[in-house]
Amino acid sequence: MTSLAPTRSSLPDDDSEEDYGGRRRGRSGSHRERGRVWWRPNLRPRDDEQGDLTLRERLVPSFALEPWWISWGFPLLITLVGGFMRFWRLGLPKWVIFDETYYAKDAWTTIHFGHEAGWLNDPTVGMANDDKAIIANPHIWRTLIANHQGNAVHPPVGKWMIGAGEWLFGFTPFGWRFIPAVCGTLAILMTARIARRMFRSTLIGCAAGLLLASDGLEFVMSRTALLDIFVMFWTLAAFGCFLIDRDKMRSKLVDWRESYPSTPLPDDVKAPPLGIRWWRIAAVVCLGLDLGTKWSGLWIIPCFMVMSLLWDHAALRAVGIRRHWVGFLRRETWQTALLSLLVLATYTATWTGWFLTKDGNYRQWAAQHNAIHYPVLSALRSWWQYHWDTYHFHVNLDSPHAYMSNPWSWLIMGRPTDYYYCNQGATGCPPLAANQHQQVLALGTPPLWWFATIALIWCCWRWIARRDWRAGSILCGMLAAWAFWLNYQHRTIFTFYAVAFVPFMCFAAAYLLGVIVGRADALQYRRVWGAVVAGAITVYILVMFIYFYPILSAQTITYNQWLDRMWWPSWI
């Protein structure tokens, strides 16, 4: 039977496998080693003939020997199914949903003018008059522009991405939802492949991708022109790039170590040069684009960079470099500084459209306030003032909203956000009978979120007690995207912000499912019962996603069918 769990060679456990810090856990006949985990003076070096693990297998475990149509085919199949569901009837409801009233229009003016513009109507509830006019005839959009001083409160990357779909398919609901659906679909493939690399198991990777494909919140955000789906996308892309960089760095380090005899390294041996680490650079660019989408990506930058540095230090210790801290600090200090500058440069480059024009919001602030009159410095001073005022807007945003929620309630789906609701006679709604209702509720699939919450608690134990680097990485991604909002509990915030860490919840849930199934060398009856339990949990999550699908995609259902899906009063 094929296991969902990682193989023996890749799962650090209490049988003396490598831990997060590169140390060995002792049992009879072994001891804890610090910095010399390959050569052990009281035991023979490990080698494949003895059935033990080489340094390469401990630092860069190999993937299972399987054809490409398994390692790529099954993740692609899950992605195609998930993508079909996200693109099916993407233009419906033919309505400006929730904050699409800001981002769809800002995206349209961004691709035409290089910056956001002001519109005639600012909505208070439901669709504004200009929204209704755009739905009726998008070609009259120029008559709805009030001025070129659109007061956007988020960086432009997400609006450029939404605008790309509008440029391809027009200023229509399908156009402004196209790129979010593309990113939401690609995230399924990325999640599956990242989990496969992390756990060295295609089945665990497929399980993670399948869980993401069946999450209601990720599904809704993939079909809505809001920015948070892009925060999730760039966060996941950065994590994946860092993970690939980890493997490639360790592989080069092992190549270098194998050029020396299998004895302790001399004290004066320094870590070798590893060349340009293109995947780490790609990860940093993704972090810059993440920040350029929404400032909630700010905490992700230091969290991921520290995570990558800890991976490097553990690898230096593992290959036996005695003065590993000296080499680590010498190498990483200047590299970290350069990478931080690259993040800033990437973020600044995302504002190119604003810098190249003269009538964007705050673009002439310095000249109007007699601050600086030199062209470049004047633009930078205006840009800084724009950021300063935007920051104060965000931290002081406390106006009440019917669907605002506390971030502590997100993991249990305490207060999902209602994007769209229609019944008979409602303004702008399609013709409905007296007992018919439509809704788009940004609700994560409840059993997935509840099981993933348990899995995250298990990951905490796994990381603290067993130093499991994968559990630590999952928690790092989770907390980087979630803990940011814990600082602003007084602010008006919504549950759909949580989509940024949904992939990490899926990683944790898939990991725990694999552990429930058991290792490949476990007893057969243990693995059979584990597979039954893990399969039952997965099937239940899929069934619940199908059950909630009507209120995730504005399907027409009866009032009683709608009410049956309101499990908690706070969901109404």
The DSSP-derived string for 437-465 is: EEEEEE---HHHHHHHHHHHHHHHHHHHH
For the chain, helix (H) and strand (E) counts, in that order, are: 21, 5
Give 514's contacts (C-beta < 8 A, 6+ positions apart).
3, 4, 5, 6, 199, 201, 203, 204, 207, 534
> Which one-letter amino acid corresponds to residue 497?
Y
> Which one-letter amino acid corresponds to residue 88?
W
Within 62-123, where are the H helices?
A: 68-71, 73-87, 100-113
Residue 248 corresponds to which tokens in the numbers above?
């490639």
Residue 367: predicted pLDDT: 85
What b/e readout covers 117-144, taking b as 16+ CB neighbours within 10 angstroms?
bbbeeebeeebbebbebbbeeeeebeeb
Residue 416: predicted pLDDT: 94
Residue 28: predicted pLDDT: 38
User: With contact defined as beta carbons under 8 Å apart, do 235 and 481 qualify?
Assistant: yes
Residue 127: predicted pLDDT: 59
Q: How far is CA 343 from CA 281, 294, 337, in A?
A: 9, 14, 10
> Which one-letter amino acid corresponds to residue 141?
W
Residue 165 corresponds to which tokens in the numbers above?
């779909």
SS3 assignment, position 7: coil
Residue 149: predicted pLDDT: 76
Residue 155: predicted pLDDT: 94
Residue 13: predicted pLDDT: 40
CA distance 353 to 358: 10
Residue 327: predicted pLDDT: 65
User: With contact defined as beta carbons under 8 Å apart, do 241 and 280 qualify?
Assistant: yes
Residue 397: predicted pLDDT: 86
Residue 99 corresponds to which tokens in the numbers above?
């904050």
Give mean pLDDT in consecutive 10-residue pieces for the chain, a chain of 572 residues: 45 37 39 34 38 79 87 96 96 90 92 88 61 86 81 91 96 96 97 96 95 97 96 97 95 86 76 87 97 93 93 87 71 85 96 90 85 83 91 86 90 92 79 87 96 96 93 94 87 92 97 91 87 96 97 93 92 90
What b/e readout covers 384-393, taking b as 16+ CB neighbours within 10 angstroms?
eebeeebeee
Sign of the Cα torsion 334, 339, 343, 346 reads positive
Residue 56: predicted pLDDT: 85
Give 189's contacts (C-beta < 8 A, 6+ positions apart).
75, 76, 78, 79, 209
Residue 123: predicted pLDDT: 54
Asked if the bond preceding 93 is cis, omega within 30° of 0, the reply is yes
The model's pTM is 0.88
